[in-house]
Amino acid sequence: MIHDATIAPTDPHAGSAATSQPDAFTPPADSSLWRKDFLLGAATASYQIEGAIHEDGRLPSIWDTFSATPGKVVGGQTGEFACDHYHRWESDLDLLTQLNFEAYRLSIAWPRVMDEAGRPNAKGIDFYKRLLGRLKEKGLKTFVTLYHWDLPQHLEDRGGWLNRDTAYRLADYADLTSRKLTGQVDSWATLNEPWCSAYLGYAEGRHAPGRTNGRYATQAMHHLLLGHGLSVQALRANDPRSQKGLVANFGRGTANSEHPADQRAAHLFEVQHNAWVLDPLLKGSYPEDLFELWPGTEPLVLEGDMETISVSMDFLGANYYFRSNVKSDGAHGFTEVPLEGVERTQLGWEVNPDGLRDLLIGFNRTYANLPPVYITENGMASDDAVVGGRVDDSQRIAFLKRHMAAVDEAIKAGVDIRGYFVWSLLDNFEWAYGYAPRFGVVHVDYDTQQRTIKHSGELIAKFLAERRARG
């Protein structure tokens, strides 16, 4: 999940669009979401829900280290317990069935399945075998992300993503897991949101490992993408029937005015957020404009790297949360200028479904080889509470409906979009924000681990039941 804003109170306009007809969730009759071949699912990530960080041979990760460092996470909170999914996974998977979801996107905890020498950890692998086996028994499609930010700490101690060797260790990890889990995974994603790993982790320092150097960010990104290409090769060799791809977060940037400098600033915003990842994957090169923003930060690229990175993919996962309004910083970059009077979420993120549609249509025009797309994360944070045994999350209901409508508009404009995953199934550990923001369609009481399906989840289940009944 992208985290690129500071936590803020909900905007006073936040409820304006959300409170009208909260039960009117079902899409119109001509929506693509009614298609039987359009997949609807929910998503989670290992560090955010599993807990059990010291059990069954799991090694420390960079997020264990980062969240235990004073001042790095709101309230000093960590993922040590999270949603206790490691022990409650069976009942959590029952929620997927209860909500009528057709697919589940999860991630494997790299530190849980391998030791420092790269040997398999049988107990960790068995956990995912049992989990994926149960999903298959339930008839759900399985979308598995290999790297959702929980790098083993011992690799960080050797340089992390600044060390080219880490790309090869990712490929080893992909090789091991795909050999052990062959036939249980419908779709493999090598990376989740490399922009966050590289930029927030190495340039801004707001994510693990907490480094702050622009040159580090571009080199880390190169090694992440190199690891992706190497991993796709291993996945294809071991599990040829599955899909292979990558999940990226995308940001919509709009200009504060029609002035050419502000228009250029919006362009550079999208270069940094989008083209930095998509150009090497789909064009085999980095965008030159990126180094206008960050002069002198070109990564070390060895012969053959770009060919490895631009290996063909079966799908692209797209994560989207908000739009950013920017203006020129008067030099070679941009600065954000938040709009007034717009709907915002608990985190202060603007609700802008048109941004999702516009990005998807733009990518389809820009990249002739754009693979089929899944919306692998879309959702919003709110300060949800259980009142009388129920959770009224009317803003989320409106948010999801409007973003699903934006996806439908993109499909009708010619974009090949195959599915949509709600972020998230459960409230969870939201990285540097801790546990205050709640993104789930299921509420989690972290003291008791009680799960309560929110009203949004009830309406999703109702729609999916109706879609299933139509055949």
CA-based nearest residue to 60, from 129, 197, 125, 155:
155
Helices (H), 138-253: 153-156, 165-180, 194-195, 214-238
Within 10 angstroms of residue 93's Cβ, the number of other Cβ atoms is 20
89 has binding-site annotation: no
C-beta of residue 383 within 8 angstroms of C-beta of residue 346? yes
CA distance linking residue 365 with residue 349, whole number of Å: 27
Q: Is the dihedral of CA 216, 221, 226, 227 positive or negative?
A: positive
Residues 6 or more apart whose CB falls under 8 angstroms from that of 313 comprise 232, 244, 245, 246, 281, 371
Write out the DSSP string of 184-210.
S-SEEEEEE-HHIIIIIIIIS-SSTT-
Q: Is the dihedral of CA 462, 464, 470, 471 positive or negative?
A: negative
Q: Is the dihedral of CA 405, 410, 411, 413 positive or negative?
A: positive
274 has binding-site annotation: no
> How is residue 235 written in tokens?
């996945």
Phi, psi of 449 (to 5 degrees): 65, 20
CA distance linking residue 183 with residue 323, whole number of Å: 38
148 has binding-site annotation: yes
48 has binding-site annotation: yes
332, exposed or middle or buried, with CB in 10 Å at 0-12, 13-18, 19+?
middle
DSSP state of 456: H
Residue numbers annotated as active site: 193, 377
423 has binding-site annotation: yes
Instruction: Please state at what angle helix 122-137 crosses helix 85-98, rounded to 10 degrees.
Output: 10
Residues 6 or more apart whose CB falls under 8 angstroms from that of 48 comprise 79, 82, 83, 424, 428, 429, 430, 431
Phi, psi of 452 (to 5 degrees): -135, 120
238 has binding-site annotation: no
Phi, psi of 367 (to 5 degrees): -115, 105
Phi, psi of 322 (to 5 degrees): -160, 170
107, exposed or middle or buried, with CB in 10 Å at 0-12, 13-18, 19+?
buried
| Distance (Å) of CA 5 to CA 206, 450, 455 | 10, 30, 27
Q: Which residue's entry shows tokens 């490895």?
A: 308
Please report, in range form, the residues annotated as the binding site for substrate: 48, 148, 192, 321, 423, 430-431
- Binding residues, by number, are 48, 148, 192, 321, 423, 430-431
